[in-house]
Amino acid sequence: MASSIIPQPGIGTFRLKGQDAIDSVTSALAQGYRHVDTAQMYDNEEAVGEAIRRSEVPRDELFLTTKVWWDRLQHDALIASLEESVRKLGVDHVDLALIHWPSPGDEVAMSEYIGALAEARERGLTRHIGVSNFTIAHLNEALSVPGGEHIVTNQIEVHPFLANHKLARHCQDKGIQVTGYMPLAVGKVLHEPVLQQIAANHEATPAQVALAWVAARDIVVIPSSTRPEHQRANLAALDLTLSDDEMARIETLDIGERIANPDFAPSWDT
């Protein structure tokens, strides 16, 4: 199982730019986070790199993830994208490079971009490779093409309102680690009465309960936060143990509510 490869938890950087991104990552590293998640599309790789340089954490203790956007999936463009990411981040390699979204309408063949990603790994641009927002069908195809045997994770949206069980279980059955993004449903979990009740039982917060629920499913969480106190609380959430009854109560919140659903998204599993 690939779970030992990707540190739990990570710090997400989606929507953070410039000084906000620098401050968030700097704080997270000081709190003890060792997994930082960024992407070419986030337009913050230089800021993330600056935070890493300012940190006293040795590079070999950090796990750095970036992603290739869907408009750069042709072989040469993909390699160039990762070379650019590494340059912007100020490192000589990333630890994990992901395909951010499958090619819309399968315009670029899966074999081309998974093959290019595997080649980037062979070139030393990244230590590991993976995918993001891949459906069961996309994942099966990715695993079947040359280079697909190196895929270690599928990063997908997971939170109490979108449990994503079918896809998550399929990944895990294939030995693929699930990384869950938006685990707090962009803050919506804070206002959910069931989560508030469970949180009160544990002297915790609804956000901590949501993170503990995702992590209990053997999913790596990458919450995003700019506030040190929230970052600390998110780390502490991983020490929270929920009962089977509490896990089951949280399951009842699953309504298939998808937050990340752009017009180029694949046909999701239901």
Q: Is 33 one of the annotated active-site residues of the chain?
A: no
In 3D, which of 152, 213, 204 has the Cα closest to residue 183? 213
Burial letters for 166-180: b for 16+ Cβ neighbours within 10 Å, e otherwise? ebbebbbeeebbbbb
In angstroms, rounded to a whole number, what is the distance separating the alpha carbons of residues 78 and 65? Answer: 15
Please spell the DSSP secondary structure of 94-155, one letter per residue: EEEEEESSPPGGG-S-HHHHHHHHHHHHHTTSEEEEEEES--HHHHHHHHHSTTGGGEEEEE
Residue 21 · residue 51 · CB < 8 Å: yes
Instruction: Give, in order, the Cα–Cα distances in Å from 154 to each of 5, 31, 94, 113.
Output: 13, 26, 17, 15
Neighbours of 105 (CB within 10 A): 8
The catalytic site residues sit at: 42
